Amino acid sequence: MLLALVAALAVPVAGAASADSAPADSAPAVSAPAGDAARGAELAALANCASCHTAAGGAPYAGGYALETPYGVFHGPNITQDPDHGIGGWTWPDFVDAMRRGRSPDGRHYYPAFPYPSYTKLHDDDLADLWAFVQTIAPVAQPSLDHALTRYRRRSVLGLWKLLELDRGALRDDPRLDAELNRGRYLVEAVAHCGECHTPRNGRGGRIDRKALAGSELPPEPGPNITPHEDALGGWTADDWEALLDLGILPDGDFVGGEMMGVVEHGTAVISAEDRRAIARWLMEGVAPQPP
C-alpha cells in the first residue's frame, strides 16, 4: 500500500527529481580528486561529524552514539576505515552519494538524522577535503548498533521523503551578496548545519526553510530562535556573536548549554576568526527576522 503510494507520487513530483541533473549537483568522478586532509579535518570539526559518530568514552568515529529523536533512537554508525564495520571499503562516488543523496553503496536510503539535507549543500572541493580526512580515520573493528525506532522503521518510505523534502546539490553563491556574506551563509547552511537544530520542522520532519532559524521544539533539546528579530537575537552585536562563537558566552555572562556547547567547543571555536565573522554577519544581516 505504502509502496503503491510512493510509486503513484513519484510521477507528479518527477520535476523535483530532475533537479538532480542541475549542474551544481555534478556527477561524482570515478577517481577521487586530490583533497586536503587537514582542511577536511577543520570541516569535519565545524560539521560536528564526531559528535554523532563517537560514543561517550569510545574510539573516535567508531559509532555507538545514541541520538534521540521523535522517531526513536538513532545510533551513529562506525565510519572509521575498518573494511567490515566501517567505511574502509568505500569509493569516492560512494561517499558523494551518501553526503549529497543520502544513499548507501547498496542503494538504501539514509535517515535524515544523518544531516545530509544540509551536507548536500557542500561545495565539491570541500567534499573532496572531507573525503581525504575520512580516509585518515584509524580503523576500529566495532560493529555499528541498530537503530531503535518507533516510527519510519522501513527505509522504503524515505524515498518519498527525499522527493518531498530533500533539495539536493551544492549551494551556489548569491550574486546579490558580497563574498563574506556568501561565506557566512554557506558555513551556516551547509557545513555547520545550524538549521538542523534551530529551524522548525513540518509534520514529516522536514525543515521549514522559510522560517529558517526561527527555533525548533524537537528533542533532545529545543533550539531557540536565533534570528535577528527584536524579540530574538535582534539586539546582538558583532562582539556578542564573537563571544558566543569563540567562547560559548552569552551576553548575560552565562555559558551556552547542552548540545550547543559542543557545537562551539569542537566547531565554531576552532575555525578562523574570519569565518566566525562571516557567520556572525550572515546571522545579523542575511537571515530574515522571525517572530518567536
61 binds ligand HEC (CB under 6 A): no
**Residue given cell 563571544 in the structure block:** 243
Radius of gyration for the alpha carbons in the chain, expressed in angstroms and rounded: 19
140 binds ligand HEC (CB under 6 A): no
256 binds ligand HEC (CB under 6 A): yes
User: Cβ 134 to ligand HEC, closest distance in Å?
Assistant: 6
226 binds ligand HEC (CB under 6 A): yes
263 binds ligand HEC (CB under 6 A): yes
197 binds ligand HEC (CB under 6 A): yes
CA dist., res. 41 & res. 5, Å (int):
42
CA 241 centroid distance within chain: 21
49 binds ligand HEC (CB under 6 A): yes
Contact 154, 82 (CB under 8 A): no
**Which CB atom, from 128 or from 134, has the smaller least distance to ligand HEC?**
134
Report the chain's terminal Cα–Cα distance, integer Å: 40
User: Cβ 182 to ligand HEC, closest distance in Å?
Assistant: 16
Question: How many Cα atoms within 13 Å fall on the side-chain side of residue 263?
Answer: 22
CA dist., res. 237 & res. 276, Å (int):
13
Which residue of 41, 45, 137, 192 would you call a contact of ligand HEC, by CB under 6 A? Answer: 192
Q: Going edge to edge, which strands form the sheet with 148-149? A: 66-69, 72-75, 148-149
Helix (H, G, I), strand (E, B) or coil at 63: strand
**Which CB atom, from 104 or from 142, has the smaller least distance to ligand HEC?**
104
**Which CB atom, from 108 or from 172, has the smaller least distance to ligand HEC?**
108
| Residues at the contact surface with ligand HEC, assessed by CB under 6 A | 44, 47-49, 51-53, 67, 74, 76-77, 79, 87, 98, 104, 110-111, 113-115, 119, 130, 134, 188, 192-194, 196-198, 221, 223-224, 226, 244, 250, 256-260, 263, 268, 279, 283
